[in-house]
Structure 1
Amino acid sequence: SKRFKETMKSLQFLSAEAFVSDAEFARKNLGSVAHNLFPLLFKASYLLERKEVIHDLVETWPLSDFNIGKLLGTTCLESCLTGLRDYVLNHPSPCVKRLKVVDLTGIKDVEVQLCECKKTMGRWARTKLVSKLCLEVLVHLQQMQCKPCTFEISIDLLIDLFVTERNYELVVQALLQKRYCPLKICCVAFRADNLALQKFFYIIKLADPSSLRKLEVVHNVRLEMEHLEILFNSIHFPLLMSLTLPARTFNVRRFTAADELMLTTIGEKMGEMTPLKTPLKMLDVSNCSLNHDDMVYLANSIHSYHLEALDLSGHYIPELYPSTFFKLLSHSSPVLRSLILEDCNIQDTHVNMLIVALSSCQKLQEFKFLGNPLSSQALKHLFTFLCELPELKNVEFPVPKDCYPLDITYPIDDARLCKFDHQKYDSIAEELKFILLQANREDVKASTPLFDGNRGAV
């Protein structure tokens, strides 16, 4: 079968695993390995969690780029990054170093690691470690008598920064020293949380807004509409393609005429940002209170034929616009890979309608529908259908309604979210996974993360 072939390892990869399985032997003989085999050895070391070999591979990396997202997943990162530090400091011939770019942006954070060590290093921890290592490199260079060409080494470190009050000072110091450090932090995406407004304005300027593609200002950053206007008037974001703001930024309940004028100015500034030259491939309109006209526009737009990822969470789709939702999915189905319908009030009576809508989405790889009031029986019916989607790899399903007390109301507030019959849930979850197993779909990961996906980034 196709899945069996995908899990088979090539003879070359098996040889790489055998080579790195003896860490001491591998470390002694790296110098005689062909340069084009380093990525393969790196993957094998990662799979077997050979930290020492990972460190030495990065320290002696002979190629011009190092894209960690393409090479692997998300474990043993500390060994990988400390190896990068030592690549700068310890290589016997700094004048012939070839590495120019290290790309850390392709890493997907998860709340629970599936690897043997179970250790996590989310976006926040990566931000802290990378900043710390950059400063360590500078300290070592000042203390050591290095060859002059060591200071000519320049490696762009592409990273998605996540800054809070706890790691703010460290990141600021690393960004301030960027011009002097061989490891140069290049911020592609920036997320700020639990940070004073003054500190946010200061660090966003240090992070080089001219190269920023994604900006997330969330939760405990008190960014209001007047501050957003100042931000857009004082800082230029020529490449920005994604902007997330706190809910309090636009408080429509206390809108005044002056606020309307300010909102117009903000809209004009946003219109000057990266012009959209191609149709949207990703669209997140969760909790945006779209009305029927909005959905009709979306379903009839050219974007609907190109959407690979769609998030409509927080909209009562079955009640408000079922036919328009059908149309939107039928347009996007040839390319749609990720669909998120959390807190959409999808009930047992809507499951058949949902199955019909999803039937055309044969390319779907990820389906998340947490927070919907579905019974265990409805979930079993839905899972039986999901087995038929050939590309599906990840499903996030809600705690069945029958696991909660009878008086539960949706959407469920955080205080009651965890107050369900855990033993009953575990039993139902096993039944759902057995449905996957019976259909030979053990490649599908099914889970119920109770809190938002950003927890994995910490």
Structure 2
Amino acid sequence: MDSLDSLVFLSARRLVSRRPLPAVPARLFPVLFRAAFLDGRPLVLRDLVARWPFPELDFQRILGRREPLRDGPSKLCVQSVLLAVVEQLRRALEGPGRHSSRCRLRMLDVTGLRDDDVGRAPAGMSVWSGTVALAKACLELSKLQRELQRAGFGNAAPPSIDVRADLFVSAASFGVVWDALRVGNSTLLRLRCRELQAEELSPAGIVNLLESLEPSGLRRVELRFNNLGLQGLSAVLPRLARFPELRSLRLPYSNVDVRREAAPGIRCLAMELGKLQGLRELNLGSSRLSGSLGDVLCELQAPLESLELTFCSLLPSDLSFLCRSPHAPALKRLDLSGHDFSRGLLRPLRQLLEEALPSLLHLDLMECHLGDSQLESLLASLRRCSRLRSLGLFGNSVSRAGLGTLVRETAALPELSLVVYPIPTDCYGQGMDPSQASEEHLDRECLGALGTELERLLESSGRAGAVWTCDPYGHAGLDFFSL
């Protein structure tokens, strides 16, 4: 924000500190909205929406991608915007000739309000409750519209408003969200889904949701904790081909185990994935894919750019397949956490990293049984990943000396800005296996000295601005769509 922007924003903050707002030029509405949102002024937000002079109101474009949502906007601010939209449509329904409106809004974009990243969601509002609030607003207006039509009023319906949102649906909220989607284009407040996350639903429930969504605009589907298995996936995946803009499919904890599945089932899974021509990100975390990764990915039409295979019990043949595949040189993100690289997987991992050198930005190898010798063996390949931005190594058995080697050897990587390192074995009780240890076994004095030592090493290596942390949850990784 330059000095002129700062002056305008400070003036906007003073203006929204009192009501009613004076008449202002249309070009000032976005900065007034931002000031009112950040300062927690829901009544001013309602006034602004009632007079919104543009066809679109995009939260993230006005508020910014991260910083604005970190500092205290409340659930009330989000709700006030939604209530203002509902009120505009209600007034227009009840008396198009009696209630003139200066609101020109036709698209409300509330995507990006997430609480699975650090500091993204407004205080007091989860993404789950936000989805329910949107669904209830759609149903309320639909009910009012039907009642007025039955009474002979509201035949000249006002222009509708589309709400573009990321929908988060659980077993508890499925009913109300599905009802809101089913009213579709017949209501004045219409849900348009950009990303769908569904948890703890049956295959039939997921199918119902997918069939109720508009085909255009959906870029991600994430199905987690649904215990689908291959049979459930065979019912769900065919419904995804109708979404031409789908780029990301995340299926963690889907309970796929190739040991229990016949070859025709695996071929069916591969064929359905192959129909998703725009797919670039795939997460199959916690599925048991031992020896079958090639069979699962063989029908994909284009190289993947993000692949997450955490705790998938992969074999050397699976990594060898990736090395030979067109995916390797296209990968920007690779997550192989939860595999034992202390044995036969280390060599194919090094080969895979060599193939991914041109593109790899993010690499996660957490809880992979890496000791000092294995890490040192990997460093020859890691040093050549010149575009690497983040590296996750938490949960491995590395010593303080091994960690120091890691700092020195990666100093030449110009873009490496985040490393989640393992707590060294030296910082636990004598002879204690870190995988068996708890926080009570941790030597806090040793850990504090380690932090000081790392700061010195990073500074001497010219990397003082890089973040090195042993907290695997304190720094959210970049989303695929931000790569």
Per the shorter chain, which TM-score range?
A: 0.7 to 0.9
Letter in 2 for 1:359: R
Quick one: structure 1 residues 268 and 336, their matched pair in 2 at CA, closer, same or farther if it must change by over 3 Å? closer
Alpha-carbon shift at residue 68 of structure 1 (Å): 3.7
Q: Does 328-337 or 425-434 show the bigger shift? A: 425-434
CA distance in structure 1 between the aligned counterparts of 2:447 and 2:148, rounded to whole angstroms: 57
Alpha-carbon shift at residue 83 of structure 1 (Å): 1.1
Pick from 415, 421, 440 the counterpart of residue 397 of structure 1. 421
Are 1:128 and 2:132 matched, yes or no? yes
Partner of 1:168: 174
* Cα pair 1:287 1:313 within 8 Å, conserved: yes
**1:429-448 pair list within 5 angstroms:** 430-431=451-452, 434-435=455-456, 438=459, 441-442=464-465, 444=467, 446=469, 448=471
Q: Does 435-444 or 173-182 show the bigger shift? A: 435-444
CA distance in structure 1 between the aligned counterparts of 2:108 and 2:120, rounded to whole angstroms: 28
Partner of 1:20: 12
Letter in 2 for 1:18: L
Quick one: structure 1 residues 448 and 49, their matched pair in 2 at CA, closer, same or farther if it must change by over 3 Å? farther
Question: How much is the aligned-residue C-alpha RMSD, in angstroms?
Answer: 4.3
Partner of 1:427: 448
CA distance in structure 2 between the aligned counterparts of 1:363 and 1:60, rounded to whole angstroms: 47
Quick one: structure 1 residues 227 and 336, their matched pair in 2 at CA, closer, same or farther if it must change by over 3 Å? closer
Alpha-carbon shift at residue 378 of structure 1 (Å): 3.2
Instruction: Structure 1 unaligned segments of length 5 or more: list them.
Output: 1-8
* Cα pair 2:203 2:235 within 8 Å, conserved: no
Q: TM-score, normalised by structure 2?
A: 0.71
Q: Does 308-317 or 58-67 show the bigger shift? A: 58-67
Are 1:267 and 2:291 matched, yes or no? no
**1:17-416 pair list within 5 angstroms:** 17-22=9-14, 24-25=16-17, 28-29=20-21, 31-35=23-27, 37-42=28-33, 57=48, 60-70=51-61, 71-73=64-66, 74-75=69-70, 76=73, 78=75, 79-90=77-88, 94=101, 97-100=104-107, 102=109, 104=111, 106=112, 109-110=115-116, 112-113=118-119, 119=123, 121-135=125-139, 151-159=158-166, 161-208=167-214, 212-219=218-225, 221-232=226-237, 236-239=241-244, 240-245=246-251, 247=253, 249-255=255-261, 259-274=262-277, 278-317=302-341, 319-322=343-346, 324-383=348-407, 389-404=413-428, 406-408=431-433, 410=435
* Cα pair 1:383 1:435 within 8 Å, conserved: no
Quick one: structure 1 residues 303 and 228, their matched pair in 2 at CA, closer, same or farther if it must change by over 3 Å? closer
Instruction: Structure 2 unaligned segments of length 5 or more: list them.
Output: 90-98, 279-299, 478-483
Larger Cα Rg: Structure 1 or Structure 2? 2
* Cα pair 1:20 1:26 within 8 Å, conserved: no
* Cα pair 1:178 1:185 within 8 Å, conserved: yes
* Cα pair 2:53 2:102 within 8 Å, conserved: no
Q: Does 274-283 or 137-146 show the bigger shift? A: 137-146
CA distance in structure 1 between the aligned counterparts of 2:124 and 2:424, rounded to whole angstroms: 28
Which secondary structure state, in structure 1, belongs to the residue aligned with residue 235 of structure 2? helix
* Cα pair 2:338 2:365 within 8 Å, conserved: yes
CA distance in structure 2 between the aligned counterparts of 1:122 and 1:441, rounded to whole angstroms: 36
CA distance in structure 1 between the aligned counterparts of 2:409 and 2:367, rounded to whole angstroms: 21
Letter in 1 for 2:181: L
Quick one: structure 1 residues 263 and 16, their matched pair in 2 at CA, closer, same or farther if it must change by over 3 Å? same
Which secondary structure state, in structure 2, belongs to the residue aligned with residue 152 of structure 1? coil
Partner of 2:481: none
* Cα pair 1:336 1:361 within 8 Å, conserved: yes
CA distance in structure 1 between the aligned counterparts of 2:156 and 2:409, rounded to whole angstroms: 61
* Cα pair 1:156 1:183 within 8 Å, conserved: yes
Letter in 2 for 1:20: A
Letter in 2 for 1:22: R
Pick from 445, 449, 452 the counterpart of residue 472 of structure 2. 449
Quick one: structure 1 residues 222 and 277, their matched pair in 2 at CA, closer, same or farther if it must change by over 3 Å? closer
Q: TM-score, normalised by structure 1?
A: 0.75
1:104-125 residue CA offsets vs partner (Å, 9 max, x unmatched): 0x4564465399xx93645334
Which secondary structure state, in structure 2, belongs to the residue aligned with residue 283 of structure 1? strand
Equivalenced residues, count: 433
* Cα pair 1:215 1:243 within 8 Å, conserved: yes
* Cα pair 1:347 1:373 within 8 Å, conserved: yes
Alpha-carbon shift at residue 451 of structure 1 (Å): 10
Quick one: structure 1 residues 326 and 444, their matched pair in 2 at CA, closer, same or farther if it must change by over 3 Å? same
Alpha-carbon shift at residue 299 of structure 1 (Å): 3.1
Q: Return the structure number with greater relative CO, CA threshold 8 A, min gap 6.
A: 1
Letter in 2 for 1:113: G
CA distance in structure 1 between the aligned counterparts of 2:424 and 2:46, rounded to whole angstroms: 45
CA distance in structure 2 between the aligned counterparts of 1:87 and 1:202, rounded to whole angstroms: 28
Letter in 1 for 2:235: I
* Cα pair 2:162 2:192 within 8 Å, conserved: no
Alpha-carbon shift at residue 237 of structure 1 (Å): 4.2
CA distance in structure 2 between the aligned counterparts of 1:421 and 1:442, rounded to whole angstroms: 27
Letter in 2 for 1:231: V
Quick one: structure 1 residues 329 and 229, their matched pair in 2 at CA, closer, same or farther if it must change by over 3 Å? closer
CA distance in structure 2 between the aligned counterparts of 1:393 and 1:143, rounded to whole angstroms: 58
CA distance in structure 2 between the aligned counterparts of 1:428 and 1:13, rounded to whole angstroms: 43
1:228-253 residue CA offsets vs partner (Å, 9 max, x unmatched): 33334677544344434465643334
Partner of 1:4: none
CA distance in structure 1 between the aligned counterparts of 2:22 and 2:41, rounded to whole angstroms: 14
Letter in 2 for 1:63: F
* Cα pair 2:168 2:197 within 8 Å, conserved: yes
Which secondary structure state, in structure 2, belongs to the residue aligned with residue 32 of structure 1? coil
Partner of 1:3: none
Alpha-carbon shift at residue 380 of structure 1 (Å): 4.5
Which secondary structure state, in structure 1, belongs to the residue aligned with residue 165 of structure 2? strand
